[in-house]
Amino acid sequence: MNDGLIEELVQWQRRLSEALLQRCPEVQGNKWLLGVQIAEDLDVQGERWEAQKHGAGVVFTRRAPAPHLVVDMHVVVSDPEVIDPWRVQKFAESKGQPLSYDEAESLLRRSSVG
């Protein structure tokens, strides 16, 4: 398994969260995204991303260039340092790397030990 996956995901979360907060400053500190509608197209480092609110989070999907990566910040969108097995699993799968929840959890444990 590619241990660089975690760092790559965190980097994308930082970039995407920053881009979203610039476009929608009302997201900052709004833990549950109450009263916030998000359906945005974002340009992030020359790449086209779509941001769509779901529940208390936002799913970001890269539309161009391919592949269509997915960064699912399902909670705490304004804190890109938050990472959990669900996020790792969804990101890995979007890269064509099948990863179970348990494998994602193990990968996270290993990355935080070093």
Please state the length of the chain.
114
Per-residue pLDDT tens for 25-76? 888 877 777 777 788 899 999 999 999 998 889 999 999 999 999 999 988 8
Q: Tell me what pLDDT residue 114 has.
A: 44
- Whether this prediction's pTM lies above 0.85 is answered by yes
For the chain, the 3-state helix, strand and coil shares in percent, each to the nearest 5, are 40, 25, 35
Q: Tell me what pLDDT residue 90 has.
A: 96
